[in-house]
Each structure stands twice: as structure tokens, then as C-alpha cells.
């Protein structure tokens, strides 16, 4: 089981470290009992950040960190499936039984109840609408000794059910079938709070980013914070695709767009992460842990300075294997770097993550996704049981950049593009060269100007 594999690896790391639960709890600011539940498999953390901190304290290798994250994703997904498949609320069964039992007590045609002419039009023959046990009942059949319910009531109920079913079917068709004028060969999807405004057709295949020609793309913003993949209204033509082929969004093998969980507040290590904040040092609170970075940055209106690291967990949603063909960078805006103070998160620095990592030079005319440290480039394969974790390092020295990623995928005859952003908003990274540099020494209670490098070097 996924949860057992996750706790098993945690236990191996803990045992190898030689540290007790009490010592680990103090270093991680967690209770020993909580750690014990994680390692024993009694609970799965809702957030990966404490798991990663535990692994780093136990001196896990980069490969072990990636494998641990993969197992946590599977264990967390399994826990969600258990929650969905829980028992129905008490009383639901009684209500359903009552709704089913009511028509059974009704007399059938010829039993003394007058039905209105034409009441069943559009629903089907009366015998076909009755339960199997009531079909073909003649005048000699015994009549139930209950107060009869007029047939019109049954007809109205059945008509209402038919209308509801028709509405649900129409909604499914709208979501599964490409819109009018679509060649059916590709679809744009979005990963974020909701499907943002569509990207212009064909942008997924262009070698130039929209921002390189001064044509900003304005993604829509939604308040929902749950990352999901959803179809948008526009489509992109794929090279070599034949006109007239229109595959459904999900084929008979279950092939569909992968899901992508994007974490733009991932740190390679605390000492490498900088944020630009438009406030004086005395007004800025102490640096957060990685798991609290989103709240800290959002509250201060901060922006990643110099480099932004993304952790992308890509997972299939059906039975079929999905091929991840390529990843592209799309620039939304490109401005002068922010003239704000630079704050380094550095305390308790750990090791770096190199497995399946990519770099992006946002200052380039047409930024592209390149492999880092000789790692293997695309394509990759994912499925529902075999996710992949990618790390993207976006660098900027001379500009304030708003940008997002697009991931091309294919499975059999289906193909499409998934947009990757920050819950409907583009990612934002600004150059920090020459900005006043502040750090927060261990054991101190305030920010200090870096005495060795008072300004960020280029």
C-alpha cells in the first residue's frame, strides 16, 4: 500500500539518523508523538514541508528526497480516496427507501384510480415506467390496502428525473466535446484555481514568448486556491494534425490531461532563497519556514528575488500512460527590476536537489526551459500510480518578470497543453542585483544589513 511504503521509508531514514523522537521533535518544532504517528504509518501529513524537513535532518540523499515525495503524493491521494468512499449519512438510506417504496403502494391501471389522459407523454409507456413486479397486473390482482396515490404524481416525479438526467448529460457533453470550429487535435488546459482566460491559438507551438514582442497575456484571476486542471474554451492546432479528427477528452483507455500541483514557494535551501520587500527592515517580521513562506510573502507583498524555485508534481488521471512531450515558458510582462530591499531566508541551510531539475533564464529574449546539471530532458512518462516531480529554477537579474509554464502532453490519439501558474496568477520573479541585502542571524531578533555584501552582487 502507498501509505505503508511512505512510512517505511520515513522509518528507514529515522533509524539511520540514530536520533530519538524527542531530539527530532525539538529540531523540527514538532511533538514527538506526531512524528511517531508519521513513522508508524498511523497518519499521513497533509503538507509535505514537515516531511522534507524531517528527511533533511536525517541527512536524506537527493534521490531519497525525490522518492519520499513520490510516496507521500501516493499516500496523500489514497487518504483522499478513503474520505470520498465513506459511508452515507444516517437517514439517507431511509429517505431513499421511502422514495422507492411509495410508487409500489400505488394501484396499477384498472385498479380503480383514474389517470389523466396524456399525463405520461414524453416519458414512455406506462408499463415501462413501472417496477418489474407491477407490469402486466390484471384486474384480478389484489389491491394494496393503503390510500392510493394518483398516477399524476408518479408521472411528474419521473418527468422531473428525466429532465435532471438530460441537464447532467448536456453538461457532460459540453465539457467533453471540443467547441465549434475546433479541429479536435489539441486542447488548452489550465492548472490553477480555475481555468484562466484562454491563450491565443497556436501560442503553444511558437518559439517566441508573447512578452518578447510587447504583447502581454492577461491571465484571469480566481479566488479558489485548489490547483486543478480544466478545459478552456480555446484550442491550439498541433503540427501535422489531420483535420476532421476529433478525439474525446477521455478515450476508452482513460487517457486524459495530467494533473500538475505547482509549489512556487519551494526552497533549494534557505540560504539560496531571497525575497524583495518594499518595506524597511524594522517593519519586516522574522523569516518564515518554507511551509509558511506563502503566507509571509503574500502578507508583505513580496516577490522572489534573483531566483524562484518551483516544485511540479505531475500525475496521470486515468489508466493510460501519459507522455509529457515538452515544457515552455510564456512571458506575461517584462519590466525594470524592483527597487526594493532584499531579504535572505537563510538559517539552517541544507543540501540541494538536483534530480530532474530545469533552469530558465528569464532575462533572455525568448526564455526556454533547459536541463540543469546534465539531467535528462523531455519526454517523460507519468500515470496515476507513477507521478513525476520536476524542479524548475527561474533566474532573473535585470528584469521584473511575470510568467507561466505550459506542459505539452499526449496519450494515444489525444494531446493537449496544460497551463501551470500560481492558482490562476502568473509567477513573478525580479532581479535583485545592487539591492540592499539583509539577513537574520541565528539567535538574533532583528534583520541586519549584510556586513560582507551590503548590496547584492551581480
Task: Give pLDDT, residue 46.
Answer: 84
Task: Give pLDDT, residue 352.
Answer: 53
State the helix-helix crossing angle for 2-17 and 49-57, rounded to 10 degrees: 30
**Average model confidence (pLDDT) across the chain:** 71
Residues of the chain whose pLDDT is less than 70? Answer: 1-3, 80-255, 347-355
DSSP 192: E
Closest CA to 270 of 247, 285, 289, 251: 289
Distances in Å between the Cα of 181 and the Cα atoms of 172, 178, 198, 280 are: 19, 8, 16, 55
State the helix-helix crossing angle for 2-17 and 32-40, rounded to 10 degrees: 130
Please give the Cα distance from 306 to 433 (Å, whole number): 8
Please give the Cα distance from 299 to 339 (Å, whole number): 19
Task: Give pLDDT, residue 182.
Answer: 44
Whether the CB-CB separation of 458 and 342 falls below 8 Å is answered with no
Please give the Cα distance from 187 to 44 (Å, whole number): 35
Closest CA to 288 of 275, 307, 305: 275
Q: 400: which strand partners? A: 335, 430
Task: Give pLDDT, residue 258.
Answer: 93
DSSP 425: B
| pLDDT tens for each residue of 414-443 | 999 999 999 999 999 999 999 999 988 877
Task: Give pLDDT, residue 348.
Answer: 47
Whether the CB-CB separation of 318 and 252 falls below 8 Å is answered with no
How many beta carbons lie within 10 A of that of residue 18, not counting itself? 8
Give, for 263, the enclosing helix (H) or strand (E). Answer: strand 259-266
Please give the Cα distance from 31 to 28 (Å, whole number): 9
Task: Give pLDDT, residue 200.
Answer: 36
Please give the Cα distance from 454 to 432 (Å, whole number): 12
| pLDDT tens for each residue of 338-387 | 999 999 987 545 455 556 889 999 999 999 999 987 788 999 999 988 89
Give, for 84, the enclosing helix (H) or strand (E). Answer: helix 62-84
Amino acid at each position: 500500500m502507498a501509505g505503508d511504503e511512505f512510512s517505511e521509508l520515513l522509518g528507514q531514514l529515522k533509524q539511520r539518523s540514530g536520533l530519538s523522537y524527542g531530539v527530532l521533535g525539538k529540531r523540527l518544532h514538532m511533538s514527538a508523538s506526531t512524528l511517531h504517528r508519521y513513522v508508524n504509518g498511523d497518519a499521513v501529513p497533509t503538507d509535505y514541508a514537515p516531511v522534507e524537513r524531517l528527511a533533511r535532518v536525517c541527512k536524506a540523499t537527493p534521490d531519497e528526497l525525490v522518492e519520499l515525495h513520490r510516496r507521500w503524493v501516493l499516500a496523500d491521494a489514497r487518504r483522499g480516496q478513503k474520505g470520498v468512499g465513506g459511508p452515507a449519512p444516517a437517514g439517507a438510506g431511509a429517505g431513499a427507501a421511502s422514495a422507492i417504496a411509495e410508487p409500489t403502494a400505488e394501484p396499477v391501471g384498472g385498479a380503480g384510480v383514474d389517470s389523466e389522459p396524456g399525463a405520461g407523454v414524453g416519458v414512455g409507456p406506462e408499463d415501462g415506467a413501472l417496477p418489474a413486479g407491477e407490469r402486466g397486473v390484471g384486474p384480478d390482482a389484489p389491491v394494496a390496502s393503503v390510500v392510493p396515490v394518483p398516477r399524476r404524481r408518479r408521472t411528474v416525479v419521473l418527468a422531473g428525473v428525466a429532465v435532471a438526467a438530460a441537464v447532467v448529460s448536456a453538461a457532460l457533453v459540453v465539457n467533453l466535446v471540443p467547441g465549434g470550429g475546433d479541429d479536435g487535435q489539441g486542447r488548452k488546459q489550465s492548472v490553477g484555481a480555475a481555468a484562466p482566460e484562454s491563450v491565443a491559438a497556436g501560442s503553444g507551438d511558437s518559439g517566441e514568448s508573447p512578452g518578447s514582442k510587447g504583447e502581454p497575456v492577461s491571465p484571469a484571476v480566481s479566488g479558489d486556491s485548489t490547483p486543478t486542471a480544466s478545459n478552456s474554451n480555446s484550442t491550439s492546432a498541433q503540427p501535422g494534425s489531420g483535420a476532421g479528427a476529433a478525439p474525446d477528452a477521455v478515450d476508452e483507455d482513460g487517457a486524459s490531461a495530467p494533473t500538475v500541483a505547482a509549489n512556487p514557494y519551494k526552497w533549494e535551501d534557505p540560504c539560496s532563497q531571497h525575497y524583495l520587500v518594499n518595506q524597511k527592515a524594522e517593519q519586516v517580521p522574522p523569516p518564515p519556514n518554507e511551509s509558511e513562506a506563502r503566507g509571509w510573502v503574500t502578507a508583505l507583498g513580496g516577490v522572489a528575488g534573483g531566483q524562484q524555485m518551483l516544485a511540479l508534481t505531475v500525475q496521470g488521471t486515468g489508466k493510460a500512460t501519459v507522455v509529457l512531450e515538452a515544457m515552455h515558458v510564456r512571458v506575461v510582462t517584462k519590466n525594470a527590476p524592483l527597487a526594493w530591499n532584499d531579504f535572505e531566508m537563510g538559517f539552517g541551510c541544507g543540501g540541494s536537489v538536483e534530480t530532474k531539475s530545469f533552469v530558465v533564464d528569464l532575462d533572455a529574449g525568448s526564455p526556454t526551459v533547459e536541463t540543469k546539471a546534465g539531467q535528462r530532458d523531455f519526454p517523460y512518462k507519468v500515470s496515476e500510480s507513477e507521478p513525476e516531480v520536476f524542479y524548475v529554477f527561474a533566474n532573473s537579474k535585470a528584469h521584473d518578470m511575470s510568467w507561466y509554464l505550459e506542459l505539452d502532453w499526449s496519450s494515444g490519439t489525444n494531446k493537449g497543453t496544460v497551463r501551470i501558474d500560481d492558482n490562476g496568477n502568473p509567477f513573478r520573479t525580479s532581479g535583485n542585483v545592487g539591492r540592499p541585502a539583509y539577513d537574520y542571524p541565528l539567535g538574533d531578533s532583528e534583520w541586519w544589513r549584510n556586513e560582507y555584501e551590503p548590496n547584492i552582487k551581480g
